[in-house]
Structure 1
Amino acid sequence: MRPLPTLIALAAAAAFGGFAATGLNALLEQPAQAAPAPAHAPALVPAIGSLPAAVNGQPLPSLAPMLQKVMPAVVSVNTKQVVRVRNPFANDPFFRRMFPNIPQERINESLGSGVIIDAVNGYVLTNHHVIENADDVSVTLADGRTLKAEFRGSDADTDVALIQIRADNLTAVPLADSGALNVGDFVVAIGNPFGLSQTVTSGIVSAVGRSGIRGLGLQNFIQTDASINPGNSGGALVNLQGQLVGINTASLNPQGSMAGNIGLGLAIPSNLARDVVNQLLKNNGVVIRGTLGLESQTLTADLAKGLGISETRGALITRIYAGSGAAAAGLKAGDVVVAANGQRIDSAEALHNYEGLQPVGNAIALELRRDGKPLTLRAALKAQPGAVAGASLDPRLTGASFADLPEALRSAGLSGVLVKDVARGSRAAQNQLQPDDVVLGATTGEFTDLAGFQASFARKPPQLVLQIMRGNARGNLLVQ
């Protein structure tokens, strides 16, 4: 097995989840002292450096009235996770007799943000990475009440999670149409950076539809220069009407998220969050995605020249799966997708990202180049299974189940399928397959995702060898 560089650093600078709140007291031990007012300050004269209340009889604009309505809907999300302590002496009888109180587990606590989107049902929207693996989640309201939260569902690929609290007198923020946002629109971010509750920062929309960021899953981000720091995750991004346009999720910083904000914040659009929430409530806490049923690669200059295409961009279709939406639409290997529903497609990754964000059954107008000529076809997305049983692929894989890779790994440049589970004592277990193994290749043929992995078993090979990535190492596994 040869070492593989770790993938952890790919997402560490951006997706920073809840913020561990230890050490805050030290920061707050020396509060600034207010200076006393002059004994005989002239009346109606503003202090040096302050703004007057009005200019030419017109009051200065302020965000305060809007924020007074919105801020009660922004909450602090507190999570606890019980982590078993790995101690090499814990199983030694002599050591345990000498130290009977040796800890066997510890509790990790973190803080994030959330926003109430339904006051009647108590639905709170936050990030998946804020509540991921939490054993206990509680919500602290702006009025100081702390409530236990119930998990309603989450989607790791879009980083959206839904929790529920039971309480009266809640305030919710209405969801805006994030599709109406334009670059330059003013926005306000509200959350709990560094554990400091109810903090407001403002800025503008720097970009919309931002994607192509390594390690962040399916992407259609709003980019803003409003300050977003650790602990802001899951907080609200609102417009000047006090409507929710996004859920703050990450801050890009080459020196790491703890280095502070440099004006490159990302938020999940409210339209995407709304679609995910609807699916979570409809499908018992999970999201069912659709697929066109094709494989593609990014068009290169050499390929474009051979296909008679002047522009070097797009996703070149290399394979169409039988019975897929792409097959029914008449797509062919050799077609180049350059746009989907009017959105520019520059690469295979861009097509996969767009496909993953569309609801099942949605028809996509694909703008193609076929034999160098423009063509538009409409293809419907068909539901793809969340997992596939190994026994349905090959008897040698009985007891294992396979799933698509998390989008965070895929956007980091990895392709293949994930071993989701392996039953104890099964044939797959005897063949040394383990949960969380990544299958990068196989003697069945080429594949990049679960659909391709399934299709590759149309002809079962006499000898089945899987190329496996386990942790940070790769190797070949003979499956008998």
Structure 2
Amino acid sequence: MSKSAVGILSAIAGGLAVFALVQFTSLGGEAHPPVRLNIQDTPIDRETRGLTSFAPIIKRAAPSVVNIYSTRIIRQRWIEVHPLFNDPFFRRFFDIEPRQLRSRPQKAQNLGSGVIVSSNGYILTANHVVEGADEIRVALPSSGREFEAKVVGTDPATDIALLKVDADDLPAITIADSDNLEVGDIVLAIGNPFNVGQTVTMGIVSALGRTSLQINAYENFIQTDAAINPGNSGGALVDAEGRLVGINTAIYSRSGGNQGVGFAVPINLARSVMEGLVEHGEVLRGYLGVTLQMAITPDLVEAFNLPDASGAMVVEVGRGTPAAKAGLQNGDVIREFNGKKVNDRPHLRLLVAQTPPGTKVTLKILRGGEPGKKPVEREITVTLGRMPEEYLSGGLPTAPHEDDSAGEYDALDGVVVSDLDSNARQRFGIPSHVRGALVTSVDPDSNSAEAGLRPGDVILEINRKPVADADEAVRLSENLRGDRVLLRIWRDRSSMYLTVDNRKRR
């Protein structure tokens, strides 16, 4: 590494969920009546044999699944369709008065399904089914009754919406505990695909806890091969006893139709959203205040002497945040959250977001010390804050994805750095609190370039040692030992770790 002479230095069935602030529409401002849920949280009997028909189960569950017809009114001026009539000459020639050019409403209609979860009129559905709707009608196929529905609240971050109809004798579905599901369990999808009428399809739970699909901001999907098609969105996914385990929301498809890869929001997640909408008019999400590494790569496992790649790695602790007050540090790996094992970054984001602000939680972490030594397991207690508005779409800041790719060069040869000055901060958008050495150039044939280091990055740490300026970066880069060098850098408004190969090129 050398110092430069001059310091210059981001197809769903029926639509996509929107990453946005929780929307809320009250029912005339009055208090919402309580939700009367029928909950049965015991696991299914997986030892049952010889089932020849699901008809009795469907007879119990199907009456609770409704068709939803939403209408959005679009006002379009006639002159926008016929721009020639902007000219007064043409209007006079065709004897058209200005009043004839007023807006003419058009209706855009959407089709979906929903599930009655409370006999007094609460219905869960997918947010994208009713998003932006001016009119919503709910039809009960089992009885032929229809109701006008109002939106209690929506949560685009999970693609869940809660509707209310004026009725008190509706057939509410029985709700299961979706945490009891296992891969291989039989599930049934009930909805109104393509508006052909209520339809039931069967499959199994193909996978649980699906994340990083970029469908919703918060993801913990049940994956199933039960056929889900346009019109099924918002409908029920039920277990072999007819109990609600998920709200159907999306498919992966090259054709637009079912290809055996469908996704449902677990009912436990949908319930927590529903309860927040009824009680508060919005979903109140917990906030930790850390930036997390996108993934714990094998190189990071080796660099931090971790036992495996599970957990979520902290790369930056926000100043004044709950995490900072509790003593979390850069490089900590969060392995448990309030007694629940943390699988990865998306899983931790979901666990934090589902926990109410003000809750005191216990984190089990791995914290490393000197390079080459095993990290020490510790417990830290954190009182969660409330999610700031700028993070509501994602829940926690996310470190950019590491370009994980692996001589005559040592790890940081070919890297030129300079001190951070006002010009460099302005050019690269580097805030005043960031301290380190600015990378001004990287030899494209160097090990650092292959690891993903690039001009504009700020080196914050080298092998867990802080870098105050360019001189210190150069000093720390001399006589680096070990197969890999661990860098913590600042890029694109957040921090991340990179591992650079420190071996000779072959």
Q: TM class by shorter-chain length?
A: 0.5 to 0.7
Question: Using the alignment, how far apart are the partners of 1:233 and 1:216 within structure 2?
Answer: 14
Post-superposition offset of 1:215: 3.2
1:235 aligns with 2:235: yes
Is this contact kept in 1: 2:13–2:230, CA < 8 A?
no
Question: Using the alignment, how far apart are the partners of 2:433 and 2:155 within structure 1?
Answer: 28
Question: Using the alignment, how far apart are the partners of 2:138 and 2:388 within structure 1?
Answer: 30
Post-superposition offset of 1:251: 1.1
Post-superposition offset of 1:133: 0.9
Post-superposition offset of 1:196: 2.0
What residue is the counterpart of 1:476 in the other structure?
none
Post-superposition offset of 1:313: 5.4
What residue is the counterpart of 2:384 in the other structure?
382
Deviations 1:297-352 (A, max 9, x none): 23344544443436455433122234433234331122122443433433x44433
Equivalent residue of 1:272, what SS? Answer: helix
Post-superposition offset of 1:60: 6.4
What residue is the counterpart of 1:124 in the other structure?
123
Is this contact kept in 2: 1:300–1:313, CA < 8 A?
no
Post-superposition offset of 1:59: 9.6
What residue is the counterpart of 2:178 in the other structure?
178
Letter in 2 for 1:67: I
Post-superposition offset of 1:273: 1.1
Letter in 1 for 2:375: K
CA distance 1:288–1:405, shift in 2 (3 Å): closer
Residues 319-468 of structure 1: matches in 2 within 5 Å?
319-340=316-337, 341-346=339-344, 348-371=345-368, 372-380=374-382, 382-385=384-387, 387=389, 403-404=390-391, 406-407=393-394, 442-444=429-431
| TM-score, structure 1 as length reference | 0.65
Deviations 1:105-131 (A, max 9, x none): 4210011000100112x0000011111
What residue is the counterpart of 1:293 in the other structure?
289
Question: Using the alignment, how far apart are the partners of 2:139 and 2:178 within structure 1?
Answer: 27
Residues 270-309 of structure 1: matches in 2 within 5 Å?
270-284=267-281, 286-297=282-293, 298-309=295-306
Letter in 2 for 1:373: P
Is this contact kept in 2: 1:215–1:408, CA < 8 A?
no
Question: Using the alignment, how far apart are the partners of 2:395 and 2:191 within structure 1?
Answer: 24
Letter in 2 for 1:291: Y
What residue is the counterpart of 1:166 in the other structure?
166
Letter in 2 for 1:227: A
CA distance 1:64–1:149, shift in 2 (3 Å): same
Letter in 1 for 2:321: S
Question: Using the alignment, how far apart are the partners of 1:106 and 1:245 within structure 2?
Answer: 38
Post-superposition offset of 1:358: 3.1
| TM-score, structure 2 as length reference | 0.62
CA distance 1:410–1:76, shift in 2 (3 Å): farther
What residue is the counterpart of 1:38 in the other structure?
none
Deviations 1:398-456 (A, max 9, x none): xxxxx336349999989xxxxxxxxxxxxxxxxxxxxxxxxxx8443689xxxxxxxxx
1:269 aligns with 2:248: no
Post-superposition offset of 1:262: 1.5
Is this contact kept in 2: 1:217–1:410, CA < 8 A?
no
Deviations 1:77-131 (A, max 9, x none): 11111223372728825356646367644210011000100112x0000011111
Residues 179-218 of structure 1: matches in 2 within 5 Å?
179-218=179-218
Question: Using the alignment, how far apart are the partners of 1:239 and 1:302 within structure 2?
Answer: 41
Question: Using the alignment, how far apart are the partners of 2:58 and 2:84 within structure 1?
Answer: 53
Question: Using the alignment, how far apart are the partners of 2:388 and 2:392 within structure 1?
Answer: 11
Post-superposition offset of 1:385: 4.9
What residue is the counterpart of 1:79 in the other structure?
70
Post-superposition offset of 1:181: 1.0
Question: Using the alignment, how far apart are the partners of 1:215 and 1:412 within structure 2?
Answer: 19
Question: Using the alignment, how far apart are the partners of 2:336 and 2:231 within structure 1?
Answer: 37
Letter in 2 for 1:342: K
Is this contact kept in 2: 1:215–1:409, CA < 8 A?
no
What residue is the counterpart of 2:404 in the other structure?
none
Post-superposition offset of 1:238: 1.1
What residue is the counterpart of 1:14 in the other structure?
12
What residue is the counterpart of 2:479 in the other structure?
none
Number of aligned residue pairs: give it.
352
Is this contact kept in 1: 2:292–2:397, CA < 8 A?
no
1:223 aligns with 2:214: no
What residue is the counterpart of 2:86 in the other structure?
92
Deviations 1:220-256 (A, max 9, x none): 1111111111110110111222211111111112x15
CA distance 1:383–1:369, shift in 2 (3 Å): closer
CA distance 1:334–1:203, shift in 2 (3 Å): same
Post-superposition offset of 1:136: 1.1
Is this contact kept in 2: 1:79–1:136, CA < 8 A?
yes
Equivalent residue of 2:271, what SS? Answer: helix
Letter in 1 for 2:151: F
Q: Percent identity?
A: 39
CA distance 1:167–1:409, shift in 2 (3 Å): same
Question: Using the alignment, how far apart are the partners of 2:396 and 2:112 within structure 1?
Answer: 23
Higher RCO (CA 8 Å, separation ≥ 6 residues): 2
Is this contact kept in 2: 1:295–1:318, CA < 8 A?
yes
Residues 242-253 of structure 1: matches in 2 within 5 Å?
242-253=242-253
CA distance 1:248–1:318, shift in 2 (3 Å): same
Equivalent residue of 2:248, what SS? Answer: strand
CA distance 1:383–1:92, shift in 2 (3 Å): farther
Question: Using the alignment, how far apart are the partners of 2:328 and 2:297 within structure 1?
Answer: 20
Is this contact kept in 1: 2:290–2:397, CA < 8 A?
no
